[in-house]
Structure 1
C-alpha cells in the first residue's frame, strides 16, 4: 500500500509539473507565451514577426514607436532633415551602453546599416532602406544618411535595432543571431531552443531600468495549451488564444483581457510561377467555391475583422469599400463549371489534388483551410490541407514549391512596407513570384514622393490590380490584437504588433503585489 501511495504521489507531481512547467515565482518575473518558436535574434534577420517581437526587447533603434505608433526619439535624441529630403542627420545620446558594457557610438550605427545594405548578407530588411546612398560618421555621436532619392517612409527604417560593431565582427552573423548583444531594456540570459528564452533586466539601460527583472518567453503554439498555462499560473501573458478559449477569460476577475484595432492581415496567396495556380480562371474558381464571408466571422469571431484590403484599418488609404465591391463573390455553381472546363482543357491534370499549405501554429487559419477544402471538394476540385511548422513552410515558399498558401503579416505603419515587398517584381517577400511592370512603376513612384494624397492614389491602383484584377492574394481577416494576462499585470497595452511593449517610451510593465 505504501509503495502504491508513493507511486501515486510521484505521478501527481509529474502531472503538475507538466501542466505548469514554469511558475512565475515572484512579481519580478514575467512569463509569457508566444505562438511560434523563435529562430533568430539578429535584428537584421527578424523579418518573421515572432523573432522581431522578441528582438525588440533586446535591441533599440535610433527612433522608436510612441503613442499611436508615432515616431519618437530613441538612441538618437534628435535629428534634422535637409530641405530636399535627401539628408538625415541623427544626434546620438551620450553614454548609451550595450549589454557588454561598451558605449554605443555612430560607428555602431553605421555598421548596423551598412551590414543590412550589403547584398551578400541577404537581409530581408534591405528593401526598407535601399534608398541610402552613403552613411557618414560625422563624429562619435553624429551620423548622416544621404539618400539616392527621396523615400517617404525612410524614418520607419530608423527603428532597426543597433548592434555593436566590434562584437558582430568578432563572432559573425550566426553567433550574433544566437547570442545577441544590444542596447535594449533586456539582455539574453539563456536560450534553450524549443523550450524557453530567458531575459534579464539591463540595469544600465539608457531610458530607465525595467521594473521586471526577468522575462521568460515560451513558445506555446496551441491555443488550448496557452489557456491552460494561464489558468494554472504557468504564464502571466498569452497572445494566441482562439475564440473558444477567450470566452472563458473575458469575464473572469482573475484575468485582464485587452484588445486593439487590427494591425495584421491573414490572407490566401497563389504562386504565379506554378501550374495551375498561375491561371487566373483557376484562382477565381477557388475563391468562388468558398463561402468566406459566411465562415470567417464564425471562425475568427472577436479575433478578427473581415478584410478586403491588404492594409489594416489603422492604415491609409481608405478604399476598402471599392475593394469589397469588386472582390470575387461566392458562386459555387460558377466555380464547379470553371473547374470542369479547366480539367477538360488540361490546365488541371486528372490526378491533381490542390495542397492548401498553412502554419500549424495558426489555429484559425487551419480551421479556415479545412473549411475551404470541404468547399473545394464539393465544387469538384480535389483538395487537402497541409499544415506544418511555419519555418519549414516559409522555406518551401521561398523555393517556389507551394501553390496555395495561408499567411499572416504585420509591419510598420506605412503602406509601402505592406505592398512593396509582396508585389514588386524583386520584392523581398514576393512569395507569389508575381511580376507586373505597371505595378512596379506605381510602387516605385509612391515611395519617392512625400504627398500622402498622391501616394494614396497610387496605392489604391496597386491594390485594385493585385487583389481584384490579378488575384495575387485574397485578404481574409484583419487580426485584432488581444492580450490575455493575469490581473496583477500593469501597464501592458496592445497597439503595435511589431513589439512586445514591456519597456517603451510610454510604459514600463510591472506586476502588482
Structure 2
C-alpha cells in the first residue's frame, strides 16, 4: 500500500514516504516493545553496537543515515518504507521494477497472466539459496503469499484478490485470484520471499511475527547481523547470493539519526556515506562541495492534509473548501522545498500512471476563503492537526498552515507524532485527528496504489484511508478498474474518481516533492527508485 509515511521524516504507505512514500500501514509493533525484544534477541547473537563492529573495514562498509527506525524486520509489514528499507537487502521478490517503471524478473524468470485475468503462471530460478543454504522453491513462494493472506496486515492490502497458489513443481507455480486484478503483478514487487521451513519452525502463536521481527529468513544479497535499538541496523554480504557481487560493500549499516543537523555533521565527518534527510537549507552547500554529490529525483510521493470526514468540524464541506483556499502553495514550493518539487494537482502525484492534470486544484485566495466561511455562517473554529516529527518539510508546512488559517479566523492546534502513533490514531474515528498531514508513499506506480489504498471505504479505520473518506461511486470506479487490462479504460475510470474526490474536498493537496539524496563522491551506482521511496537499493551501490 500505501504507504503513507514521510519522505524526510517518514512516514516518515509514499515520498523529508518520510511515502509512501512514510504512506499507510497496519499491524505494526509498538516501537518501545520492539526495541526491547530486538535488543535482547540480536545481542544474544553477538552483534556489535553502534560503534565499530565492521571488522575494521570501514572502506568496505556502506553507512546510510535514516531518521526513523523500523517497527519490525517482518517482510509482511514492508508496505511501510522504514521496514521496506531493512527488508530489501535481506530478501528477494518474484519481480521488481526496473528502469522506466518496467517490471523485470527477480526470482521469477517468466510469468504469464491468463486471458481471464484470474491466474498467473510463473517460472522460478533454480539457483536461489536462503541464507541457511536451503534452496528456494515454489513451496516457499506459496507459503509467503498464504502467510500474508492469513495475517491481513501490511502488504495484504495490495493482495486483496489473492486466493491461493498451486505448486506444480519446484520451479513452476500458478497464483490464483478471486477476480481479475490488474494490480496483482505490481503488488508482487512487495512480496518478499520467506524460507518456509525456517519460519514454520519458529511459528509460535502468531504465524512467526514475533520471530521475524528480530530474525532474517531471506535469500537476498545481505544477511541481518545486528540491531541496536534506535541506533543502527547491520548487514553482512551473503557471498552465495545468486546474483553475485562486483564492487558492493561487504557490510551495510543503517544508522538512525533523527535530526537533519546530525546527518549533515556526520556526512561531513565521514561517519556516513548517504543521507536522505538533509535540511533543504543545506543542499546548496553540499552542491558546491566537490567531495559530495547531490541527487534530485522526481518521486511518486505527495504531501497532503487529510480531513476527518465524520464527526468533526471539517465534516462541513464549506469549512474544508475554505481551508483549501487559505494555504500558500507557491510559498511552500519556493521557501520550504527550495524549488525541489511542485504543487500538487488533485490527489494523484503527477508522476503516476493515469494522472489527470485537468482536475480542479484550489489556489491561494484569502478573500474566497473568508467569503466561503461567511456564507456558511462559520466562525470561531478550532481544529487539531497531527504531523510527523523530525520531518523538515512537514514541520515548516505545519507552521505555515497554522499561520495561514489564523488569517481566516481558524485556530489550528499542532500535534507532532511518530508514524506508529499516527497509524494507531486512525484505528478509530474517535481518535482520528481533524486534520492529518502525511505523505502518500505508493508502493508502485500503478494508480490503484493511491486511489484504492487511500480512498476506498474498505480501508477506513485500518491506518490507510486517512480521513475516513467514503463515496460508493469512487469505490465502484476504482474496483471496476482493477478488473480491466486495457490501460486506457482503466485511466478513464481513474480520472472520474480523481474528479469526484476533488469535488468532495477530501484533502489539502500541498506538494509533489523531489527526493534529494546527498552522498560522498566515492559512492557509485545509487539511483532513486520511485517504487521504493526513501530506501536505498544497496545491491546496486558500489563503494570506493
TM-score w.r.t. the length of structure 2 is 0.84
Q: What is the CA deviation profile of residues 258-314 of structure 1, one whole-angstrom value per residue up to 9, with x for unaligned ones?
A: 122222111111111231121111111212222223333321124322111333332
Q: Paired residue for 1:165?
A: 196
| Contact 1:68–1:495 (Cα < 8 Å) also in 2 | no
Tell whether 2:515 aligns with 1:481: yes
Task: Quickly say closer, same or farther: Cα 1:148–1:389, change in 2 above 3 A.
Answer: closer
Of residues 428, 445, 450 in structure 2, which corresponds to 1:399? 428
Cα distance in structure 1, aligned partners of 2:291 and 2:237: 27
Counterparts of 1:405-444 in structure 2, within 5 Å, are: 405-411=436-442, 412-427=444-459, 429-444=464-479
Task: Quickly say closer, same or farther: Cα 1:60–1:79, change in 2 above 3 A.
Answer: same
The unaligned stretches of length 5 or more in structure 2 are: 1-49, 203-207
| Contact 1:339–1:380 (Cα < 8 Å) also in 2 | no
Of residues 32, 37, 43 in structure 1, which corresponds to 2:75? 43
SS in structure 2 opposite 1:489? coil
Cα distance in structure 1, aligned partners of 2:411 and 2:538: 50
Cα distance in structure 2, aligned partners of 1:212 and 1:502: 12
Runs of 4+ in 1 over 4 A off after TM superposition: 20-25, 337-342
Tell whether 2:280 aligns with 1:243: yes
Deviation at 1:129, TM superposition (A): 1.8
Of residues 208, 215, 220 in structure 2, which corresponds to 1:184? 220
Of residues 124, 128, 135 in structure 1, which corresponds to 2:165? 135
Deviation at 1:25, TM superposition (A): 5.3
SS in structure 2 opposite 1:511? coil
Q: Paired residue for 2:4?
A: none
Of residues 435, 446, 460 in structure 1, which corresponds to 2:495? 460
| Contact 2:299–2:513 (Cα < 8 Å) also in 1 | yes
SS in structure 1 opposite 2:346? coil
Cα distance in structure 1, aligned partners of 2:254 and 2:78: 16
Q: Paired residue for 2:327?
A: 290
Cα distance in structure 1, aligned partners of 2:158 and 2:77: 13
Q: Paired residue for 1:107?
A: 139
Cα distance in structure 1, aligned partners of 2:99 and 2:536: 11
Bigger mean CA deviation after superposition, 283-292 or 446-455? 283-292
Q: Paired residue for 2:154?
A: 124
Cα distance in structure 2, aligned partners of 1:489 and 1:279: 51
Cα distance in structure 2, aligned partners of 1:381 and 1:313: 30
SS in structure 2 opposite 1:277? helix
Deviation at 1:341, TM superposition (A): 6.4
Q: Paired residue for 2:3?
A: none
Tell which has more relative contact order, 1 or 2 (C-alpha 8 A, sep 6+): 2
Q: Paired residue for 1:10?
A: none
Cα distance in structure 1, aligned partners of 2:259 and 2:492: 41
Task: Quickly say closer, same or farther: Cα 1:41–1:318, change in 2 above 3 A.
Answer: same
The unaligned stretches of length 5 or more in structure 1 are: 1-19
Cα distance in structure 1, aligned partners of 2:296 and 2:361: 28
Q: What is the CA deviation profile of residues 327-370 of structure 1, one whole-angstrom value per residue up to 9, with x for unaligned ones?
A: 2232323433544666x67xx7x6x6311210012111110110
Tell whether 2:504 aligns with 1:470: yes
CA RMSD of aligned residues (A): 2.1
Q: What is the CA deviation profile of residues 126-152 of structure 1, one whole-angstrom value per residue up to 9, with x for unaligned ones?
A: 232222233101112211112222211
How many residue pairs are counted as aligned between the two chains? 479
Q: Paired residue for 1:274?
A: 311
| Contact 2:333–2:339 (Cα < 8 Å) also in 1 | no
Q: Paired residue for 2:64?
A: 32
